[in-house]
Amino acid sequence: MLAYIARRIVTLIPILFLISLVSFIVIQLPPGDWVTRQINQLKLSGIQVDEGEAMRLTKLYGLDKPGGERYINWMKGILLDGNFGWSFQWNMPVNRLLVERVPLTMSISIASLIISWLIAIPIGIYSATHQYSVLDYVFTFIGFIGLATPGFLVALILAWVIFSSTGFSPLGLNSNQFLDAPMSIAKFLDMLKHLILPLLIIGLSSTGVTIRVMRANLLDELKKQYVITARAKGLRELGLLLKYPVRMAINPIISTVGWILPGLVSGEVLVSIVLGIQTTGPLLLRAVLEQDMYLAGSIVMILSTLTVIGTLLSDILLAVMDPRIRYGGVSK
Amino acid sequence: MTNDNNVLIEVRDLKTYFYLYEGTVRAVDGVSYDIRKGKSLGVIGESGCGKSVTAQSTMRIVPSPPGKEVGGEIVLHLEKGPVDVLKLNPNSDEMRAIRWKEISMIFQEPMTSFSPLFTIGNQITEAIKLHLPGVSKKEMRERTIELLDKVGIPQPSRLIDVYPHQLSGGMRQRAMIAMALSCNPKLLIADEPTTALDVTIEAQILELIRGLQEEFGMALMYISHDLAVVSEMSDEIMVMYLGRVMEKATANEIFNNPLHPYTQALWRSIPAIEGDLKRLETIKGMLPSPYQVHKGCPFYSRCEHRMPGLCDEARPPLYQVSPTQTVSCFLYDKSAKAATPAVARPEAAAS
């Protein structure tokens, strides 16, 4: 088991290197850079910028150096000093921007994943064991609505409904009176109140899928011989359900942990914009539009790294759950 | 009901139907049989004739919905007195206490009978823990190792901790047998336990089951579509067709004097080892649709001796031909003037 984990971690190194390279190349791909974009905007607003000034700015930002050199400098900063570079657009270090938002994004993603599992897995189990019952149809209906409705639309409607009926504005992370206040229990509670809506909306979008996956997997497993064996042994129905078929049916859901993370992040961009929450989604969107290359590159790289780590975690979890995976490379 | 106190289980007019979208399948339609303590009953028939469903009804593990036991009784003679299993709720504590403790079962597919996620030992001790309370962990483990040894698994103290995928099919079926014996059941149901195994392993497993039946003093219900295997394994044989009993007799009688046209046809479709090579006879016609309801004999459409106006109009009752042989066919109706038992009636078949 430990050997399996160690082997998987070693294979991470070249993958992470490739990710950093690809992140850098991707943000270099659009024509032009931060300076040409700024100069264009100045020209649009009627201000003439001479060639020398443009050259000076390009040199100042280090954009005149060849790509390879810039990549090496960027990576050196990250690996040696933990410095992700400078954001042109915000005029501050990328680190400071990320420190504010990455933890928030991660907590929202993980919390909404947990919420979505807590809702979806029991419903999926119920739907499979009570196939074609009234409640199964109700859950199927709700699940499909959840699948088909864009999250930002639900966010808009719910925010309006809540505001118009209770007078509480669920937008942003804190109510106005707490904006500049230091962290306190009252402020924390206020933050939780604001987070419920985005958590539910972001979580629900994946809930529909998870219900369908859980239901279909469990229906397959329930027909298997080992379930009948367990029943013939005289086990209690609920006990055997949880010990045998559910354990099998849940595997594919665990294996999606890795790529549910980026899905949540990109799905959450629109919801976060609508609800005014400062996560990495809106930040990445603006950084790409403004060609703020180090900021955009860092976000892309961090999200990809998280995906890879998520996949590793889900693989380890699977190996813990399923002996056939655990012994896959060892015996025979 | 018989007063014979050697009877373990009495099944009377069992009806198990499956209510599907396409219609109702009468998988078991009025089956009756007894099994005496320590004796064996062989059940034989084509796929879909209701053999397995009969067995599953006995343990009340027919998947429901769509399956449902709609009629009859299954009386199990336990130490504390007779119990009609069909009157119990399938999920009740009483029913669950009967499963595996009184009746246990070996299934057809050794590959999937165990969950791949737990060790063989875990799944066997689970049954012991459930039905024999007060046994310590150490004793349970020892008992499991002893059982694995008994069914011929080498190095049982090591293999108790392996996962099912690490064993071969034959070994898994042996482990399954060990699990079925773990609580000393009174009746062991073997539902085609050797179908998925190759012939040499099949012989070993049959030998094993027979030996253990004697050793444990269990009754055995052996289900198969293999005539030779069933007659070797059983004292008494029941021939089923489309959910009904066609003929019931001792193994000897079924072998030497099959009476029902269906049993006779089954025998003719087995290749003979001795004598000249002949084209193998098959049973004419097709198995009727499982949704079809038969007013008369279900074998009517394929029978060589059918009597129109009689066989397709009424359901033939079971005629007692000898003290141990009963057959469900109008050919053996002594009161009917046409009755000349076991003689072909070509003019009737010609229609």
**Ranges of residues in chain B whose predicted pLDDT is under 50:** 1, 337-351
Which of B250, B235, B181, B211 lies closest to B39, judged by CA? B235
Percentage of chain B lying above the pLDDT 90 cut: 14
pLDDT at B340: 46
Q: How far apart are CA A76 and CA A78, in angstroms?
A: 5
Chain B residue with the nearest C-alpha to that of A251: B117
Query: Could you say which DSSP state residue B337 is in?
Result: T
Phi, psi of B71 (to 5 degrees): -165, 165
Q: What is the tally of helices (H) and strands (E) in chain B?
A: 11, 12
Q: How far apart are CA B117 and CA A245, in angstroms?
A: 10
Contact present, B40 and B222 (Cβ < 8 Å): yes
Mean pLDDT, range A292-314, rounded to an integer? 85
Contact A233 B163 (CB under 8 A): no
Contact B107 A225 (CB under 8 A): yes
pLDDT at A332: 36
| Set of chain B residues whose Cβ sits within 8 Å of the Cβ of A233 | 99-100, 104, 126-127, 130, 179
Compute the CA torsion angle A246, A247, A250, A255 (nearest 10 deg).
Answer: -170
Distance of alpha carbon B52 from its chain centroid, rounded? 6
Q: How far apart are CA A24 and CA A20, in angstroms?
A: 6
Distance of alpha carbon B204 from its chain centroid, rounded? 20
In 3-state terms, what secondary structure has residue B78? strand
Residue B176's alpha-carbon distances to A105, B110, B203, B211, in angstroms, are: 51, 7, 16, 16
Nearest-5° angle of CA B85, CA B86, CA B89?
85
Phi, psi of B132 (to 5 degrees): -120, 75
Q: How far apart are CA B149 and CA B156, in angstroms?
A: 6
Does any CB of chain A come closer than 8 Å to the CB of residue B287? no
Q: Which CATH superfamily is domain A100-329 in?
A: MetI-like (1.10.3720.10)
Mean per-residue pLDDT over chain A, rounded:
82
Give the bridge partners for B219, in sequence order. Answer: B187
Give A 227-246 residues with CB within 8 A of chain B.
228-237, 243-244
| Set of chain A residues whose Cβ sits within 8 Å of the Cβ of B58 | none
Contact A233 B99 (CB under 8 A): yes
Q: DSSP readout, B89-151?
A: -TTSHHHHHHBTTTEEEE-S-TTTSS-TTS-HHHHHHHHHHHHSTT--HHHHHHHHHHHHHHT
pLDDT at B349: 39
- Residue A13 burial (C-beta neighbours within 10 Å; 0-12, 13-18, 19+): exposed
Q: How far apart are CA A13 and CA B130, in angstroms?
A: 49
Q: Select the residue of A225, A243, A321 nearest B109 (Cβ to Cβ).
A: A225
- Counted residue by residue, chain A has a size of 332
**A180-199 pLDDT per residue, tens:** 777 778 888 888 888 888 88
pLDDT at B43: 92
Report the gap between the CA of B290 and the closest CA in chain A (Å): 21
Contact A233 B97 (CB under 8 A): no
Mean per-residue pLDDT over chain B, rounded:
84
What is the sign, positive or negative, of the torsion defined by CA atoms of A37, A38, A44, A50?
negative
- Three-state SS across chain A? CHHHHHHHHHHHHHHHHHHHHHHHHHHHCCCCCHHHHHHHHHHHCCCCCCHHHHHHHHHHCCCCCCHHHHHHHHHHHHHHHCCCCEECCCCEEHHHHHHHHHHHHHHHHHHHHHHHHHHHHHHHHHHHHCCCCHHHHHHHHHHHHHHHCCHHHHHHHHHHHHHHHHCCCCCCCCCHHHCCCCCCHHHHHHHHHHHHHHHHHHHHHHHHHHHHHHHHHHHHHHCCHHHHHHHHCCCCHHHHHHHCHHHHHCHHHHCCHHHHHHHHHHHHHHHHHHHCCCCHHHHHHHHHHCCCHHHHHHHHHHHHHHHHHHHHHHHHHHHHHCHHHHCCCCCC
ipTM of model: 0.81
Residue A222's alpha-carbon distances to A246, B91, B123, B222, in angstroms, are: 9, 16, 18, 26
Phi, psi of B18 (to 5 degrees): -115, 120
Q: How far apart are CA A309 and CA A315, in angstroms?
A: 10
Query: Could you say which DSSP state residue B46 is in?
Result: -
Domain ranges of chain A: 2-93, 100-329
pLDDT at B4: 62
Please give the span between the terminal C-alpha atoms of chain A, in angstroms, as a whole number. Answer: 16
| Set of chain A residues whose Cβ sits within 8 Å of the Cβ of B130 | 233-235
Nearest-5° angle of CA A286, CA A290, CA A293?
95
**A170-179 pLDDT per residue, tens:** 777 777 777 7
| Structure token digits, residue A304 | 């990809």
Helical axes A293-321 vs A257-275, angle rounded to 10°: 140
Contact present, B18 and B27 (Cβ < 8 Å): yes
Q: Select the residue of B98, B117, B179 nearest A323 (Cβ to Cβ).
A: B117
pLDDT at A196: 83
Q: Select the residue of A225, A232, A237 nearest B112 (Cβ to Cβ).
A: A225
| Structure token digits, residue A170 | 């669920």
Considering just the CA atoms, what is the radius of gyration of chain B in Å? 21
Distance of alpha carbon B339 from its chain centroid, rounded? 31
Mean pLDDT, range A120-139, rounded to an integer? 91
Contact present, B238 and B33 (Cβ < 8 Å): yes
Which of B80, B98, B11, B18 lies closest to B50, judged by CA? B18
Contact present, B112 and B85 (Cβ < 8 Å): no
Q: Can you give the pTM of this predicted structure?
A: 0.78
Does any CB of chain B come closer than 8 Å to the CB of residue A176? no
Query: Could you say which DSSP state residue B3 is in?
Result: -
Contact present, A289 and A89 (Cβ < 8 Å): no
- Residue A52 burial (C-beta neighbours within 10 Å; 0-12, 13-18, 19+): exposed
Chain A residue with the nearest C-alpha to that of B98: A234
- Three-state SS across B160-191? CCCCHHHCCHHHHHHHHHHHHHCCCCCEEEEE
Does any CB of chain A come closer than 8 Å to the CB of residue B99? yes
- The residue with greater pLDDT, A325 or B88, is B88
pLDDT at B295: 82
Omega into A323 within 30° of 0, i.e. cis?
no
**A209-256 pLDDT per residue, tens:** 888 889 999 999 988 889 989 988 888 888 888 888 998 898 888 887
pLDDT at A9: 87
